[in-house]
Amino acid sequence: MDEWFSAFKAQATPAQLYGFLQHMPKGGDLHHHLTGSGFSHWWWDIATDEAHNGGYRYYTRTLAKLCNGYGTNAYGPMPEHLLFHTVQQSTYNALSDCKKSEYTALSDLTADQQSAFLDSIRLDKPYEGRNEFFETHWQRLGDLTRNPHVQAYLLLKNMQAYQLEQVTYLETQVNVKGMLYPDGSIMQAEQALQTIETMLASQAATDTGVTVRFQYALLRFLPDAEQQLRWIYAFVDAHRDRYVGINFVGREDNDKGYPLRFLPVLRELRQAYPAIALSIHAGEVDEPNHHVRDTLLLGAKRIGHGLNTISDPQTLLLMRHGPYLIEINLISNLLLEYVKDFTEHPFAEYLRTGIPVALSTDDRGMWDSTLTDEFYLAVTRFNLSWQELLALHRNSLQYAFIAEPAKRALIEHWQQQTAVFEQKQITHNTVYHPSQTGQFICRYAPKVCSLATGDKYE
């Protein structure tokens, strides 16, 4: 198969290579923010469908007036310039008349307003980057992220999309604390989780064949992050059938969330609870630091991004052939400007010096991308061999946090499917084309359309 794949890469068209990678049996997506994985049209479809979203009605800001006060939401002050910030009916009802006049019901948007709303929650302009992503995208979603019916819908859509990409396993970050009922009252976390579990038990979810487990995410720079972590630990411990780990998220260049801040509370919690796996964002910064090393000291088994690990030789040596995995997110790192082009990305160095890595999608809905896109970029920009492709898929299952019996079953299933796929290629030289429901990489031009030949945005 190695020789076949090498020859195939040399003569295949981009569409044929993409189709091949799309149909190839895949392992898992281990670095996946559920609310960042929703494509704009998925958000729109569920937000405007009160019959299926739990009976919630949503309004979004379409005007900016000089009303007295800014108002508040779950993220703090709402900047006056932030159009398309979205609230549910109960939040809208509590606004002043002036503030209400800034908002329009989603169902009443004009065609141009709808298009602008969809564009506002994806990174699709050459001048947009990490500040646009971190400081506006999540804030615009507003109350949409506090509806468990919306989260359940996004999860199902992801599972159905991954079925089409032959993905075996999804380990996604799902938070359920602070969800709202339509009247604005707080929903108990147990009730919110049950809403999502009901979807997962449905025939539609079962038909995808995708195994799903959750991580709970801690926003690391919150002033009460330690207390939040105590609650998360207790909740994950009580729901180990679904939750398999905890993740620390948020801009790493916000020093209020530095890793060693959490060492005392983690040591406290490990006195009280059986082990809970940690996969922590670290090394997603421009400058050298020891955050990855410090994150390993916290007990993390997987590192999210790990870009600047390349600048810490001692930690690199520690991670070679070791028990730790780096979750690589190529498109995310480029769009958020942590690398100018892929010649700066350390992925190949990690892969080819024995540091376990796996490809993942991060916030795929906001990039308008797929897991196949990540593999297409890896193959075309780093000339991956067949064995390296297999290692990436195997790692994404071997380093999953799911319980060992289920993990073994997933690996065996993937190996069987891969053997069949390989035989079809060698025997029949099957030609695959991108499915109509999939997206070729140039789908999200102008930014990434040129990635196969050059990575800089013009």
Percent of the chain residues past pLDDT 70, beyond the cut: 92
How many whole angstroms separate alpha carbon 339 and alpha carbon 332? Answer: 10
Sign of CA dihedral 57, 60, 65, 71: positive
How many whole angstroms separate alpha carbon 333 and alpha carbon 130? Answer: 9
pLDDT for 69: 53
How many whole angstroms separate alpha carbon 122 and alpha carbon 41? Answer: 11
Cis peptide bond prior to 446, omega within 30° of 0:
yes
**pLDDT under 70 in the chain at which residues?**
68-81, 436-458
User: What torsion, rounded to 10 degrees, do the Cα atoms 294, 295, 298, 302 define?
Assistant: -150
Distances (CA, A) of 93 to 136, 309, 316: 23, 49, 54
Whose tokens are 């958020």? That residue is 336
Specify the pTM.
0.92
Q: Is the distance from CB of 400 to CB of 50 less than 8 angstroms? A: no
pLDDT for 322: 82
How many whole angstroms separate alpha carbon 309 and alpha carbon 270? Answer: 27
DSSP string, 226-270: HHHHHHHHHHHHHTTTTEEEEEEES-TTSGGG-GGGGHHHHHHHH
| 81: helix, strand or coil | coil
Whose tokens are 């999502």? That residue is 196
How many whole angstroms separate alpha carbon 107 and alpha carbon 91? Answer: 17
379 CB neighbour count, 10 Å cutoff:
20
pLDDT for 370: 92
Beta partners for 282? 305
pLDDT for 77: 46
- Spell out the alpha helix ranges (H) of 363-449: 364-367, 371-382, 386-398, 404-428
How many whole angstroms separate alpha carbon 283 and alpha carbon 54? Answer: 39
Whose tokens are 């410090």? That residue is 294
pLDDT for 65: 83
Q: What is the pLDDT of residues 39-54, one digit of tens each?
A: 999 999 999 999 999 9
**Rg, the chain, Cα only:** 22
Q: What is the pLDDT of residues 183-235, one digit of tens each?
A: 999 999 999 999 999 999 999 999 999 999 999 999 999 999 999 999 999 99
Structure tokens given for 349: 């160095």
User: What torsion, rounded to 10 degrees, do the Cα atoms 58, 60, 66, 67 define?
Assistant: 10
pLDDT for 72: 44
How many whole angstroms separate alpha carbon 36 and alpha carbon 242? Answer: 20
pLDDT for 439: 53
Domains identified in the chain and CATH numbers: 2-38+145-444 (3.20.20.140), 40-142 (no CATH)
Q: Which of 396, 391, 394 is nearest to 329 (CA)?
A: 396
Give Dmax over CA atoms of the chain in angstroms: 72
Please calculate the CA angle 28-351-22 and round it to the nearest 5 degrees.
40
Structure tokens given for 256: 């209020």
How many whole angstroms separate alpha carbon 360 and alpha carbon 329? Answer: 5
Q: Is the distance from CB of 27 to CB of 169 less than 8 angstroms? A: yes
Q: Is the distance from CB of 298 to CB of 268 less than 8 angstroms? A: no
How many whole angstroms separate alpha carbon 168 and alpha carbon 413? Answer: 9
